Structure 1
Amino acid sequence: MLKIIENYIVYVFLVMITVNVFLFLLLLSKKIYTKLSIRKKKVIQEEYEKSLATYIATNEKKELTKPFGFLERKIFFETVIKYSSYLDGNSKERLLNLLEKEKLINYIQRKIKSKNPWKRKIAVYQAGEIGIKYVVPELLKLLDSNDRELVYITSRTLIKISNDKYLKNILVRISKGNIMEKPNAIALVDMVDGDITNILEEVMRLDSTFLNAIALEIYGIRQYEQGIKWIKQMVYHPLKEVRISALKGAIGLGDISEGEYINALLTLSVDEDWEVRVFVAKLLKKIKNAESISTLETMIKDPNWFVRHNAGLALIKQGENGLRSLIDLLSSEDVFARDKAWEVLQKEMVFHKLLAKIDDDELREKLMEKTAMTQLGEN
C-alpha cells in the first residue's frame, strides 16, 4: 500500500513538472513571438513611413509598393491614417487603391455597424481621415446617438468628408440634450472650409440660445462683419452667456467704427454680471478712441477685481491717451483705481521698458514724477 502511494506521489509530481515545463515553454514562445512581431512591425512601419514621406515630399509614385500580407496591409493603413492630414484627395485615392479600396470600405462599414462602441468610434474616425464618402448614410444615423464622444467624432468625420453639406444637421443635433460643450461645437464649425455666412444667418434665426451663442462667436473668429447686426441685437439678451458670446464675437471683429454698434456694446460696461463687464474691458483693448478711454476710467473703479484688472490692461493698450489716463489715476481718490493704475504702470516699466517707448517728453517726465511720488507714498 505504501509503495502504491509513493508511486502515485511520484506520478503526480512528474505530471506537475511536465505541466509547468509546458506552460513555461508556451509563455516563452509567446514572448519570443511577440518580440519578433514587434520587431518585424517596427521594420515594416519604418519602411512605409519612409516611402510615404518621400511620396508626400516628391509625389514619386514609384516609391510606393503594394502591401501584400495582412500585417503589411494593417501597418500601411495605419501609416496612411497617421499622415492623412498631409495628403490631398488624389493622393488618398491612390493609396486607397493600393489597399484594395472596396475591401477597405467594406471593412470600415462593418466596423461602423459593430456593437463594440470603441471599434465603432475608431472606424468613424478612420473614415474621416481617409475621406470615405460611402459611409455618410451610416454617419447620419449615428448623429442621433446619446454617446457624446460618438456624436463628436461622427460630426467631425461628416465635416471632413462633406465640408458644410451636413453642418446644419450637426448643429440641430448638438443643440438637443446637452450632447456637446460649446467650445467643442465651435471647433467643429470652424473646421468647415469656405464661406458659411448663410448657414450662420439661418442659425441666428433659430430659437436656440446655444446655437445663437456659437454663431455669434464664429462671426468673430472668422471676422464676418455680417454678424454686426446680430451682435447689436444680442447684447440685450436676458442670458449673460449670450451677451458674453456677443462680446466675444465683437472682440474677434476688432475695431469697427460704427457708432450705433459701439454704443450698444458699451451699454454692457455697467452690466449686472461681472463676467460680462470683464469681456467689455477685453473688447476695449481693441477699440481705441476717447469713448473707450472714458468707459475704462469708470471700469477701473469697478468693485470686482477682475474687471479692474482687465480695465487697467485695456487702458495701457489705448496708446499715449490711455497712458495719460493711467498716470492721472495715480492721484485718484478711489483706492481700487489708484492701486490698479500703479500695478499696470509698474509692470509696463519693469518688464516692457515703458519709459523708453514714450516719445512725448512731457508725458515721460509726468510719469517719472508721479512714479516717484507714488513710491515715496508707499515708503
Structure 2
Amino acid sequence: MINDDIKFLLTVFEWLMGILMLLLIYLIARKTMEIRLRKKVEEHKIQMNDKLLHSILTGDFLRSLQADTKAKKLATEELLSHYSDILEGTEEKKNLNLLAESRLSGDYRRALSSYRWSTRMNALFHIEAFEMESLKEDIQDMLKRSRVTKEEKIKGLSFLAQIQHKGIYRLVTEEYQDLSYLEYRNILSRLDEKGLEQFMLGYHSCQLQLKFAIIDLVGLKKNLGYLNFVESIFSNSNGEERVRALKALASIGHTSNANHFLPLLSSPNWEERMLSARLAGEMKCVEAIEELVLLLQDSSWWVRSQAGQSITRFPEGKKILQEVIESSSDSFAKDMAWEWMNKGVYQS
C-alpha cells in the first residue's frame, strides 16, 4: 500500500517536472523570439528614420516606406510616435497623420476586432496619437459592441472628441451617462471652443457629473466670454455645483460685479470663503482687504493660506502682512502672514 502511494507521488512529480520543463522551454523560446524581433525593429528604425523624416517634412511619401512585416510595422509605429511628440508644425503633423493613415490604418482596424484587450487598447492609443480620422467609423462600431470595456469606451470617446466628431454631444449626453466627473473631463478637454460651447448650450439637460466637468473646463479656459454662463450657474445652483461655479470664476479671475461675491468672504462654507478670497485677490478688490486680513485667522488652513496669497497681490500687500505680524494677537494669522511674506510672491 505504501509502495503504491510512493509510486503515485513519483509519477505526479515526474508529470509536474515535465510540465515545468515544457513551460521553461516555451519561455526561453518566446524570449529568444522577442529579442530577435526587437533587434529587427531597431535595424529597421535605423534604415527608415531618414526616409520617414523626409516624408513628414515634405509630404513626399516614399514607396520604400512599407510596414509589411511585424518588425517594420513596429519600427514605423515607434518612429511616428517619437516624431509626434516632438514636432510642432501644423503641416508636419498633417503629413505625419497622413503617413500613419496610409501605412498603419489597416493594422489598427484589424486590431480593434482582436479578442485581446491589450491589442485593442494599444490600437486605440495610437489611433488617438496619430489622429487617424479614417478610423472614426471603426471606433463608433467598437463602442456599440457588448464586450467593450469602460477603458475602451473612454479612449474611443476621447478620440472622437479630439477629432471634433459632430456626434460627440449626443453620445456623451445620451448613451454614456454613467461616467465619472474626471472621465467626462478627460473626454471634453479634447474639444475646441465650438465643441465645448455645444455642451454649454445644453448644460441644463446634462447629468450632474458632466455638469461638473463642463464648469471646470470653462474655468480653465479663462475666457471672459464665458463669464455670464458661469455667473448664471452660480446664481441658480447650490451645493457642489455652486462651489464649482465659484471656482471657475476664481480661475477666470473676474466677475461683472464683485460686490455680489464679497459677502462670501464670511460664508459658513470654508470652500466659498477660500474661493471668494482668491477671486478678491485676482481682481485686487480693495473693499475686500479688511476681510482678507480677518481670514488670516480662519479655522481652515486652506482659507488662511488663500487669504495670505490674495493679500500679496495688492500693491500694499507686503506692508499689510508686516502689520499683521507686528500687531496681531492671533498666532495663526502671524504664522500665515510670515509665511507669505517669505515666499517671494509679492506682486506690485
TM beyond 0.5? yes
Is the Cα–Cα contact under 8 Å of residues 235 and 268 in structure 1 kept in the other structure? Answer: no
What SS does the aligned partner of 1:88 have?
A: helix
Is the Cα–Cα contact under 8 Å of residues 159 and 166 in structure 1 kept in the other structure? Answer: no
Q: Distance in 2 between matches of 1:136 and 1:62?
A: 23
Structure 2: stretches of 5+ with no match in the other structure = 1-21
Equivalent residues in 2 for 1:44-63 (5 A)? 44-56=44-56, 58-59=57-58, 61=60
Is the Cα–Cα contact under 8 Å of residues 235 and 265 in structure 1 kept in the other structure? Answer: no
Q: CA deviation at 1:44?
A: 0.8
Partner of 2:166: 165
- CA distances 1:17-64 after superposition (whole Å, capped 9, x unpaired): xxxxx99999988766654443222111233234323443x4273777
Partner of 1:109: 109
Q: CA deviation at 1:337?
A: 2.5
The answer to whether 1:186 aligns with 2:188 is no
Partner of 1:296: 292
Partner of 2:332: 336
Identity of aligned residues (%): 19
Partner of 1:243: 242
Partner of 2:304: 308
Is the Cα–Cα contact under 8 Å of residues 219 and 225 in structure 1 kept in the other structure? Answer: no
Partner of 1:136: 136
Change (3 A) 1:220 1:164: farther
Change (3 A) 1:51 1:282: farther
Q: CA deviation at 1:327?
A: 3.0
Q: Distance in 2 between matches of 1:200 and 1:32?
A: 52
Q: CA deviation at 1:202?
A: 2.0
Is the Cα–Cα contact under 8 Å of residues 164 and 192 in structure 1 kept in the other structure? Answer: no
Equivalent residues in 2 for 1:1-379 (5 A)? 34-56=34-56, 58-59=57-58, 61=60, 65-67=64-66, 69-70=68-69, 71-84=71-84, 86=87, 87-94=92-99, 96-97=101-102, 99=103, 104-143=104-143, 147-160=149-162, 162-172=163-173, 176-177=177-178, 179-182=179-182, 184-196=183-195, 198-236=197-235, 239-256=238-255, 258-259=256-257, 262-320=258-316, 322-330=317-325, 331-345=327-341, 347-348=342-343
What SS does the aligned partner of 1:92 have?
A: helix
Q: Distance in 2 between matches of 1:175 and 1:69?
A: 38
Q: Distance in 2 between matches of 1:150 and 1:26?
A: 31
Q: Distance in 1 between matches of 2:265 and 2:105?
A: 56
Q: CA deviation at 1:245?
A: 1.8
What SS does the aligned partner of 1:191 have?
A: coil
Q: Distance in 1 between matches of 2:137 and 2:324?
A: 63
- CA distances 1:331-352 after superposition (whole Å, capped 9, x unpaired): 134443233223322x14xx57
Letter of the aligned partner of 1:329 in structure 2?
A: V
Q: Distance in 2 between matches of 1:338 and 1:251?
A: 25
Structure 1: stretches of 5+ with no match in the other structure = 1-21, 359-379
Letter of the aligned partner of 1:39 in structure 2?
A: K
Change (3 A) 1:173 1:324: farther
Change (3 A) 1:272 1:90: same
Letter of the aligned partner of 2:323 in structure 1?
A: D
Change (3 A) 1:181 1:287: same
Q: CA deviation at 1:225?
A: 2.6
Q: Distance in 2 between matches of 1:175 and 1:237?
A: 26
Q: Distance in 1 between matches of 2:193 and 2:229?
A: 21
Q: CA deviation at 1:319?
A: 1.9
What SS does the aligned partner of 2:283 have?
A: coil
Q: CA deviation at 1:95?
A: 5.0
What SS does the aligned partner of 1:114 have?
A: coil
Is the Cα–Cα contact under 8 Å of residues 108 and 127 in structure 1 kept in the other structure? Answer: yes
Kindly name which structure, 1 or 2, has the bigger radius of gyration based on alpha carbons.
Answer: 1
Q: Distance in 1 between matches of 2:122 and 2:32?
A: 29
Letter of the aligned partner of 2:336 in structure 1?
A: K
Q: Distance in 1 between matches of 2:176 and 2:31?
A: 50
Change (3 A) 1:26 1:301: closer
Is the Cα–Cα contact under 8 Å of residues 240 and 273 in structure 1 kept in the other structure? Answer: no
Relative contact order (alpha carbons < 8 A, sep ≥ 6): 1 or 2 greater?
Answer: 2
Letter of the aligned partner of 1:265 in structure 2?
A: F
- CA distances 1:347-367 after superposition (whole Å, capped 9, x unpaired): 14xx57x7xx99xxxxxxxxx
CA RMSD of aligned residues (A): 3.6
Deviates more, 1:36-45 or 1:262-271: 262-271
Aligned length: 319
What SS does the aligned partner of 1:115 have?
A: coil
